[in-house]
A and B are shown apart, each in its own frame.
Chain A
Amino acid sequence: MQAAPTSPDNDAYRPLFQVDDLKKHFAGRNRLFSRRASRVLAVDGVSFEIGHGETLGLVGESGCGKSTVGRAAMRLIEPTSGTIRLHGEDITRIKGERLRAIRREIQIIFQDPYSSLSPRMTAGRIVAEPMALHRTASGKVREERAAALFRRVGLNPGRMADYPHEFSGGQRQRIGIARALALNPSLIVCDEAVSALDVSIQAQVINLLMDLQDEYRLSYLFIAHDLAVVQHVSRRIAVMYLGRIVELADTQTLFAAPGHPYTEALISAVPVPSPKQARHGRRIVLTGDVPSPVNPPRGCHFHTRCPYVMQRCRTEEPKLRAIEPGHLAACHLHEAGSAKDQPRPDVPGEQVYGRLKVDRAAGQASRQ
């Protein structure tokens, strides 16, 4: 389950942030006469790493656990098991003041710009608060720095005395970004940071985030359900389904040669900007809903909706493994074929599609 190092531009690659086999189980409510308590396997063994200045996209449907990954990884909720490392230091179980110190390094931008700002605090105080909490700046310096942050995110510092409800949605999100930047973090978790915004505002905020990344060498864990947005900002993308990562690859590879049927379906669902631009593959429409994480399907979690399902998928859980260097996928299709883990040459897209087609036939055969 070790994620292969994929960031090429560091000579000695040391990831900023590593998450290994992270699990978060929520205890379900114990019904009056039920024998055992139900558990919700919100996150069920997720591993990834993020390099310095890198953006890892995390996509998946609603309820697949991607927000839980973000929150558990930054210790906003307690992970059930697994390890989280920042700068190589294990931060999974640290508490109290040490955890507070780590908070400076990892910040978060929330989805809802309306509920994420205290309604009775002025915008200036919201942005200055993290600096006050960590005593990184005080008095005049803090006010000046808050004003500088306002300007940096494109807000008028003259409005620092205004309350959040006096700003628009996009402006509020900028306040949230300024707050996240206040402590000079190395990693920012963007939890659906642009999903609640209009498309035009989305673009502005995304560009702001990318500019800030270049400027401060920030790393992002970019959680979103919009594949197009994630493609634009991420160097690598992890695809989650029902609490697990089913595929993790470089953005280009993922779009050119998806290694998991679920990824393939997601990509096929991304709208094509112009009717003249023909869609590469056919549109794959998944049927049914995401199964409940309280009682996930046996074997491969995706087998209930997979167009290529085989007998084996229903019983045996596929492991997330490298199908080529830096490209991980959890699917039996990659073992079913004869060519196991061969480094494929030029046109990987064709090959995967080709192989998926072949295997699909095999799957149908096995179903009968």
Chain B
Amino acid sequence: MAFLNSRIEELAGADAAELRRDPKKRHRALRRFVRNPYNIAGAILISAFFLAALLADFISPYPPNQISLANTFDPPNAEFWFGTDHLGRDILSRIIHGSRVACAVSFGAVGLAMLFGVTLGMIAGYTDSWIRDAIMRVMDALWAFPSIILALTIAAVLGPSLGNIILAVGITYTPAFARVMFAQVISLREETFVEAARAAGARDRQILADHIFPNTVAALTVYGSIMAAEAIIAEAGLSFLGAGVTPPQAAWGSMLRLGYPYLQQAPWIAIFPGCAIFFLVLAFNLLGDGIRDAMDVRLADSQRR
């Protein structure tokens, strides 16, 4: 853009003050997002969990699967901050390693669901033929299942592995994105600016890519972060029910399941993984709300003054 600006200045000969864009106008959505402390809290929490997942091997005090029979059922103390489980494994280390599964599933499954859902919803919303009905009725059928049962079924069929869990949760949430996208596309395609693009000679592909899709990004981002929270709960549910990652690998849901029989004697085994789930879900919800408010121009203007 720099060459353009310099070029324009000489072309137009207009006064410089007019030409410089008000820097305050730039990144208006970002500035609105930053203004709300809840949004910051959400973003920091997610970043923290994400960093923990990336750096798990370096920051966890013990190897996650190191059994220490001398230290079984230790309550939280200076040595084991979050205590130990029935095999003497360090809960903190396992939570840190468990965040890998949580982050992988939340980003992976939502990414996958978005990819499938957005593609299907866009095709369905833009075509008028039987294809639309075929796609949307299949989505409705998928949506009719309680999500945990559908995910459980798919995970059970595919077998327990991280990739399969991502696939199972991703398929489960595909209809959600397909429906959001479908609704957006059918309303956007009637907009005058889409007609204008067609009048200018845009092909369908170009209309979808340049005129319709950019206007759905806000809704998709918001929905994506809310669905990420859902995906974490789904993964925890799968792990809790034993359809998650294979046992020695740490996952919050399976840790919760392990601690459940000892809830009276050693509550820390279940409480800390539960807190981890709670905070990551909360963080994604805060982020989703924040993005929604920041991207909604009308809402922002009314709040402004």
Q: Which residues of A contact B (CB under 8 A)?
A: 74, 76, 100, 103-104, 106-108, 110, 112, 115-121, 124, 129-130, 133-134, 140, 143-144, 147-148, 151, 156-162, 165-166, 176, 179, 182-183
CA distance A119 to B216 in the complex (A): 11
CB < 8 Å: which of A100, A121, A147, A166 contacts B210?
A: A121
A158–B19 touching, CB < 8 Å: yes
CB < 8 Å: which of A112, A115, A143 contacts B7?
A: A143
B193–A158 touching, CB < 8 Å: no
Q: Which residues of B contact A (CB under 8 A)?
A: 1, 3-5, 7-9, 11-12, 14, 18-19, 21, 25, 191-193, 195-203, 206, 210-211, 214-215, 217, 297
B14–A158 touching, CB < 8 Å: yes
Q: Which of B18, B19, B192, B203 has the most CB of A within 10 A?
A: B192
CB < 8 Å: which of A74, A143, A161 contacts B21?
A: A161
Chain A residue contacts of B3, Cβ below 8 A:
140
- Assuming the contacts A76-B199, A158-B14, asked whether A115 and B192 have C-beta atoms less than 8 A apart, the reply is yes
CA distance A116 to B190 in the complex (A): 11
B193–A161 touching, CB < 8 Å: no
B193–A118 touching, CB < 8 Å: yes
CA distance A151 to B297 in the complex (A): 29
CA distance A129 to B207 in the complex (A): 11
A108–B196 touching, CB < 8 Å: yes
B191–A115 touching, CB < 8 Å: yes
A129–B18 touching, CB < 8 Å: no
Chain A residue contacts of B202, Cβ below 8 A:
129, 133
Name the distance in Å between B188's Cβ and chain A's nearest Cβ.
10
Name the distance in Å between B304's Cβ and chain A's nearest Cβ.
14
- 7 interchain residue pairs of minimum CB distance: A158-B19, A103-B201, A130-B200, A116-B192, A115-B192, A120-B214, A118-B193
Give 16 pairs: A residue, B residue, CB < 8 Å, sorted on A.
Answer: A76-B198, A76-B199, A107-B199, A110-B196, A116-B192, A118-B193, A121-B211, A124-B4, A129-B210, A130-B200, A133-B200, A147-B7, A147-B11, A151-B12, A156-B18, A183-B200
Q: Which of A134, A156, A176 has the most CB of B within 10 A?
A: A156
